[in-house]
């Protein structure tokens, strides 16, 4: 059955105390909104509609950066969750199938939970959870053992209803045509003066339809409302990602010091030393080694490669098998073929390095002229001497060498040695004479000041 996602993301998130709309605050390198979209995308929805309001342009960009087919509907005034869903249906004309409503500020709903909701035989299915410590949530009122009668918002609940511990997560699933009809009929005569999405349950039951509850753990429905919640969400994500990495056969010496992104992939038997940070878009194959204090984003590390300590791999860094990248090396938009060694103190940007080439300490690709970026091509089995400046665009041939301290501004053919430095001048005995002179000067100054 076709599925459409409606993701509610119009709220400002006042308690974040931020210029950025709440759903664009990040957990594990991705906006909260993207986490919600990702959970939903596992169901392979035919349509995804994001309801934006506050800072709609920024929300639209984030949604479409992640999924360019996502549609965004504007809810100019936030009149409640039911009103927001009604707006979404303006983009869903002609869609038939099931609709799942998610919140853009609730990042950890599992795809499996959403699948269970879709598979539940009911006209309206609500995701609930057990909790005894909340004032804010709507309460799920059951009839019989497995039927849901209605949802009552905390503000509108009687003291007896407030004692109910089965809470509404806000996630809801229903047939599209039915839900469109139900939200169109909502009223706002309640404590908040809002159109409550939750009222569709009572309305469906009044029509003789079946509403049911699927439950999940409270942690799954964790929402973010303030910076404290963001910290808690990040911690929850990291705890999960670390455990998952260990289960997948990754060695983490000090898991609590390793930070993963929402999309990090690390292969089996890779070792990650303490204090490593993964930004978005990193894949590491099996049997690699990431030493301490590395900062990695948008890069690929192949089997058997070793990186760090203190290395920075930026977007477009691709390390083939058995590449070695050592301390204080930065690599951006550069492909390093098999067996390349870049041991120390180097910047490689906009470059390609052929297999088994050795890059000496202090090598810099001078890739930027202040206006444009230029490429450096280095052939296989070359040797770049320490402290070589490679002024791009420039090509170093296969098996070529550059002398230490060279500033290379012209292409170097295969097998050639390029020297781009001034010739050395040696003055026998001059150092000893200078030392004598300097010592005498120092002694003279000492006597004058005493």
Q: How far is the CB of 85 from ligand UD1 (least distance, A)?
A: 9
The C-alpha R_g of the chain, in whole angstroms, comes to 31
Q: How far is the CB of 10 from ligand UD1 (least distance, A)?
A: 3
Helix boundaries (H) for 339-382: none
For the window 21-60, what string marks contact with ligand UD1 as x by the rule CB under 6 A?
------------------------------x---------
Annotated catalytic residue: which of 25, 54, 344, 352?
344
110 CA to centre of own chain: 17
85 CA to centre of own chain: 27
Q: Which residue is nearest to ligand UD1 (CB)?
A: 138
By CB under 6 A, is residue 170 in contact with ligand UD1? yes
Cα→Cα distances 162→92, 152, 190, 226, Å: 36, 9, 16, 24
Q: Give 192 or 417: the residue with its C-beta nearer to ligand UD1.
A: 192
| Window 191 to 230, contacts with ligand UD1 (CB under 6 A) | 196-198, 223
Position among 5, 6, 11, 222 found at the interface with ligand UD1 (CB under 6 A): 11
Query: What is the total count of residues that contact ligand UD1 (CB under 6 A)?
Result: 28
By CB under 6 A, is residue 78 in contact with ligand UD1? yes
Q: Which of 123, 124, 144, 127 is nearest to 40 (CA)?
A: 127
Q: How far is the CB of 334 from ligand UD1 (least distance, A)?
A: 41
Q: Confirm whether 300 is a catalytic residue.
A: no
Residue 223 · residue 103 · CB < 8 Å: yes
Q: How far is the CB of 54 from ligand UD1 (least distance, A)?
A: 8
Q: Which of 311, 71, 110 is nearest to 222 (CA)?
A: 110
| Window 96 to 155, contacts with ligand UD1 (CB under 6 A) | 103-105, 136-138, 151, 153
| Count of residues in the chain | 450
Residue 408 · residue 391 · CB < 8 Å: yes
Q: Give 86 or 284: the residue with its C-beta nearer to ligand UD1.
A: 86
CA–CA separation, 365 and 352 (whole Å): 11
Q: Give 9 or 299: the residue with its C-beta nearer to ligand UD1.
A: 9
Position among 4, 5, 8, 361 found at the interface with ligand UD1 (CB under 6 A): 8
By CB under 6 A, is residue 354 in contact with ligand UD1? no
Burial class (CB in 10 A: 0-12, 13-18, 19+), 405: middle
Could you tell me which residues come within 8 angstroms of residue 260 by beta carbon, excluding any fewer than 6 positions away?
28, 237, 238, 241, 242, 245, 278
Position among 25, 26, 83, 332 found at the interface with ligand UD1 (CB under 6 A): 83
Q: How far is the CB of 169 from ligand UD1 (least distance, A)?
A: 6
3-state helix, strand, coil in the chain (%, to 5): 25, 30, 40
Q: Give 216 or 294: the residue with its C-beta nearer to ligand UD1.
A: 216
Q: How far is the CB of 166 from ligand UD1 (least distance, A)?
A: 11
Residue 70 · residue 49 · CB < 8 Å: yes
Residues within the interface to ligand UD1 (CB under 6 A): 8-11, 51, 75, 78-81, 83-84, 103-105, 136-138, 151, 153, 167-170, 196-198, 223
Active site residues: 344
């Amino acid at each position: 059955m076709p599925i459409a996602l409606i993701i509610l993301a119009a709220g400002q998130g006042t308690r974040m105390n931020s210029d950025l709309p709440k759903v664009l605050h990040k957990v594990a390198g991705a906006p909260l909104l993207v986490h919600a979209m990702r959970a939903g995308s596992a169901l392979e929805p035919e349509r995804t509609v994001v309801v934006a309001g506050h800072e709609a342009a920024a929300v639209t960009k984030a949604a479409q950066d992640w999924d360019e087919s996502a549609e965004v509907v504007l809810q100019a005034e936030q009149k409640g969750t039911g009103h927001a869903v009604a707006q979404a249906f303006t983009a869903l004309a002609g869609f038939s199938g099931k609709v799942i409503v998610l919140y853009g500020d609730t990042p950890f709903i599992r795809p499996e939970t959403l699948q269970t909701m879709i598979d539940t035989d009911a006209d309206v299915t609500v995701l609930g959870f057990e909790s005894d410590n909340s004032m804010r949530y709507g309460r799920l009122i059951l009839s019989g053992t497995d039927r849901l009668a209605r949802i009552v918002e905390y503000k509108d609940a009687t003291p007896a209803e407030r004692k109910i511990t089965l809470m509404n997560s806000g996630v809801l699933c229903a047939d599209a045509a039915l839900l469109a009809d139900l939200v169109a009929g909502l009223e706002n005569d309640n404590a908040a003066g809002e159109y409550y999405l939750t009222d569709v349950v009572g309305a469906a039951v009044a029509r003789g339809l079946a509403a049911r509850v699927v439950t999940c753990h409270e942690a799954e429905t964790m929402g973010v409302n303030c910076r404290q919640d963001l910290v808690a969400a990040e911690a929850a994500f990291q705890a999960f990602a670390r455990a998952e990495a260990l289960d997948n056969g990754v060695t983490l010496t000090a898991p609590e010091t390793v930070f993963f992104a929402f999309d990090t992939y690390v292969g089996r038997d890779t070792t990650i030393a303490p204090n490593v940070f993964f930004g978005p878009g990193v894949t590491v194959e099996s049997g690699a080694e990431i030493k301490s204090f590395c900062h990695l984003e948008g890069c690929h590390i192949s089997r058997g490669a070793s990186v760090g300590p203190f290395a920075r791999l930026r977007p477009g860094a691709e390390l083939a098998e058995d590449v070695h990248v050592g301390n204080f090396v930065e690599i951006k938009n550069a492909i390093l073929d098999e067996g390349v060694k870049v041991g120390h103190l180097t910047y490689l940007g906009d470059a390609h390095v052929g297999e088994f080439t050795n890059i000496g300490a202090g090598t810099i690709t001078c890739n930027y002229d202040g206006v444009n970026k230029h490429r450096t091509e280095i052939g296989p089995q070359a040797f770049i001497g320490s402290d070589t400046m490679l002024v791009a665009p420039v090509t170093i041939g296969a098996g070529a060498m550059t002398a230490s301290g060279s500033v290379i501004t012209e292409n170097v053919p295969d097998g050639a040695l390029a020297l781009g430095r001034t010739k050395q001048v040696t003055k026998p005995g001059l150092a000893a004479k200078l030392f004598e002179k300097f010592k005498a000067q120092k002694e003279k100054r000492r006597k004058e000041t005493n």
